[in-house]
Structures are given as structure tokens and as C-alpha cells.
């Protein structure tokens, strides 16, 4: 009995690995396609990649752990300023070292904002998350000696990547760097969400009382996840700083936090694929719409949100997956 189930388990684990491989191939395929279809728009594609890291990071906290937050851009901004300040003030211009600085700053920001946000539940928790992003924004604005304030932090000139590839004007190096980063993050996060730790997080989202009755630590686990989430968002921020060579206050804004949440929900919470699809769809949509009529962008985001809540509460990926699941059940 145990033997047969175990071989089943092994083949299932194999199945999951195949699915991960397909996911990685899909990301790479889309990335290559984007490279050849929009060779003049690589900066936008890199920006999408950076934001995708932010949305993946938000998914860890909101989708997997059930913590609703409107202040997640604080982690992204910490990564961006971490990498930017390292380069502009400390002369750390190696892109890998800048990335490390961003990841570290993001993880620290995650640890701090996690500890604060997780202090309360429900509405007070939401209030804390909003207050954090405003506070971070005000602090960055005030500390203009370090951050450049509202003019933005300039003077970031990253060295050649691995001493070989210069960050070129067309943004090719930055794009490839970003895609490699995204694939790496995706593979690591896929592993984490199906590990025992990831299972514990899902358990906490569904019933924290049950987790405590199993001897599990709810608060400690969530803070840990927040730090991981911060590292991922920080990587996204660092990528943005490296590719655009400037860090603005908008990377620490409430709007970015809210938009990240919109992207996540648009794609579908609790699934890394949903986060990626939501980001790509939203950013593409934003590019098209704001090129046509920048004035109405906020109205359209709002309408989009209302539409998702009313008509596709599981998001694009979640709704599609549900359709396929239903078909798959009918078929055999």
C-alpha cells in the first residue's frame, strides 16, 4: 500500500517538475518573442520584468499568506534606493553587487514592515500598511541628501555585467539581465511555495487557529515570508535602478502599491503564474491606454478593478485554470 502510493508520489513530483520546466520555457519564449517584436521598446519590457518581481513578491504575502497590504511598494522602493544609493554614494557599481544591495535592503524593509503590519489584523492592518508606504515616501522625500528627494536619485552608472556586457543604450543587456533574474526568482519561489514552509503559509491563510493547534508559529512564519517577499521585491527595485539608472519617489508610492495589488488580482492570487500574467496584461494595457489618453488612466484602473471583482474574482489565470479543470473532469 505504502509502496504504491510512494511511487505515485514520485511520479507526481516528477509531474510538478515538468510543469515548472514548462513555466520556465514559457517565460523564456515570451521574453524572446518580446525581444524580437519590440526591439525599440526593451526599456518597457525591462520595467515589466521589474514590476513582475514586485507582484510575485506581493503574491507571497497576499496570495499565499492572506495578508492584505496596500504598502508593498515600500519593499520595492527599498531595493531600488538600496541599489541606487550603493552606486551613487558608495561607488558600488558592479551590477551584481548592486543587486545584492537591493535584495538586502528589500529583505530588511520586508522584515521591518512585516513586523509592523502583522501586529494588527483586518482594518488596522490595512491602515498600518498604508501608513508605512506614506511614511517611507515622506522619509525618502525629506532625506534628499541621500535620495535626491523629488528630483530623483541620479548618478547611477553600473559597470559592465560580469565585466563583459555593457549596459547599452537600447537596453539589451538590462533586458537579458532582468529575464535571467525573473526566471531565477520564479524557480526559487516555485520551490519555496511547495516546500513544507510554503504549505505552512497556506495553512495560516486558511486557518491560523488550526496552525497554532498544530504547534505552528503563525507570527514567526509570516515575518519570515515577509522577509523573503522583501528580497524578491528588492531584486525588482534593484533591476529598475540598474536599468533606468535613476530612482524616483514614485517607486515608493501608494499608487504603485495599489497597482501591484490590481495586477496580482487581475492575474489571480495564490499562483505565481497568475502574478506574472496579471503584470504583463496590466502593464501592456497601461502602455496602450496611457499612450492613447493619459488623462483617463486612473479611471480605467478603477473600472478594471471593479470589473475583476464583479466578473472574474479568481483573476485571468484562476478563471482559465477553473475552466480547464472542469473540462478535464468531464473528459475522462
Residues 167-226 that bind another protein (CB under 8 A): 191-192, 194-200, 202-203, 206-207, 209-210, 212-217, 221, 224
Q: Considering only residues 95-124, where is the footprint of another protein by CB under 8 A?
A: 116, 119-124
Within 280-299, the residues that bind another protein by CB under 8 A are: 295-299
Task: Decide if residue 254 touches another protein (CB under 8 A).
Answer: yes
Sort 124 into a burial class: Cβ within 10 Å, 0-12 / 13-18 / 19+. Answer: exposed
Identity of the residue, 5 or 40, whose beta carbon is nearer to another protein in the bound complex? 5
Cell of 171: 537596453
> Total residues contacting another protein (rule CB under 8 A)?
76
Distance CA 97, CA 160 (A): 12
- Told to check if 306 binds another protein by CB under 8 A, we report yes
Q: Which of 61, 222, 301, 316 binds another protein (CB under 8 A)?
A: 301
- Rounded Cα distance between 278 and 265, Å, is 7
For the four alpha carbons of 271, 28, 186 and 249, in that order, the dihedral sign comes to negative
Single residue of 9, 21, 29, 33 touching another protein by CB under 8 A: 9
d(CA 191, CA 205): 19
- Distances from the Cα of 307 to the Cαs of 54, 66, 297, in angstroms? 23, 22, 15
Residue nearer to another protein on the CB measure, 28 or 116: 116
In the Cβ-directed half-sphere of 60, how many Cα atoms lie within 13 Å? 33
* 126 lies in the binding site for another protein (CB under 8 A): yes
Q: Are 116 and 124 in contact (CB under 8 A)?
A: no
Shortest Å, Cβ 116 to another protein: 6
Q: Which is nearer to another protein, 37 or 214 (CB)?
A: 214
Binding to another protein by residue 150, rule CB under 8 A? no
Inter-residue contact 113 to 97 (CB < 8 Å): no
CB of 214 to another protein, least distance (A): 5
State the minimum distance, in angstroms, from the CB of residue 262 to another protein. 8
* Residue among 285, 288, 276 nearest 316 (CA): 276
Total residue length of the chain: 332
CB of 44 to another protein, least distance (A): 22
Using CB under 8 A as the binding rule, whether residue 321 contacts another protein is answered as no
Amino acid at each position: 500500500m505504502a509502496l504504491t502510493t510512494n511511487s505515485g508520489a514520485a511520479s507526481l513530483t516528477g509531474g510538478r517538475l515538468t510543469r515548472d520546466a514548462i513555466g520556465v520555457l514559457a517565460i523564456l519564449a515570451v521574453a524572446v518573442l518580446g525581444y524580437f517584436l519590440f526591439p525599440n521598446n526593451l526599456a518597457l519590457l525591462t520595467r515589466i520584468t521589474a514590476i513582475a518581481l514586485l507582484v510575485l513578491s506581493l503574491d507571497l504575502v497576499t496570495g499565499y499568506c492572506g495578508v492584505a497590504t496596500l504598502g508593498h511598494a515600500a519593499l520595492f522602493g527599498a531595493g531600488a534606493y538600496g541599489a541606487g544609493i550603493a552606486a551613487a554614494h558608495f561607488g558600488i557599481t558592479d551590477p551584481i553587487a548592486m543587486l545584492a544591495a537591493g535584495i538586502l535592503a528589500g529583505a530588511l524593509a520586508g522584515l521591518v514592515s512585516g513586523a509592523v503590519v502583522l501586529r494588527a489584523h483586518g482594518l488596522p492592518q490595512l491602515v498600518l500598511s498604508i501608513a508605512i508606504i506614506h511614511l517611507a515616501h515622506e522619509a525618502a522625500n525629506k532625506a534628499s541628501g541621500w535620495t535626491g528627494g523629488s528630483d530623483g536619485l541620479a548618478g547611477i552608472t553600473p559597470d559592465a555585467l560580469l565585466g563583459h556586457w555593457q549596459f547599452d543604450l537600447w537596453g539589451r543587456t538590462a533586458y537579458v539581465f532582468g529575464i535571467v533574474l525573473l526566471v531565477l526568482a520564479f524557480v526559487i519561489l516555485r520551490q519555496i511555495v511547495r516546500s513544507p514552509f510554503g504549505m505552512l503559509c497556506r495553512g495560516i491563510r486558511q486557518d491560523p487557529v488550526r496552525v497554532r493547534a498544530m504547534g505552528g508559529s503563525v507570527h514567526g512564519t509570516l515575518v519570515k515570508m515577509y522577509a523573503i517577499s522583501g528580497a524578491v521585491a528588492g531584486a525588482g527595485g534593484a533591476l529598475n535602478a540598474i536599468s533606468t539608472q535613476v530612482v524616483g519617489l514614485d517607486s515608493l508610492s501608494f499608487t504603485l502599491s495599489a497597482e501591484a495589488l490590481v495586477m496580482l488580482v487581475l492575474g489571480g492570487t495564490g499562483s505565481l503564474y497568475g502574478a506574472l500574467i496579471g503584470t504583463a496584461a496590466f502593464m501592456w494595457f497601461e502602455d496602450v491606454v496611457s499612450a492613447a489618453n493619459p488623462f483617463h488612466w486612473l479611471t480605467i484602473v478603477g473600472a478594471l478593478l471593479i470589473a475583476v471583482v464583479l466578473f472574474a474574482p479568481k483573476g485571468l489565470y484562476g478563471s482559465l485554470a477553473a475552466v480547464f479543470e472542469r473540462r478535464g473532469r468531464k473528459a475522462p
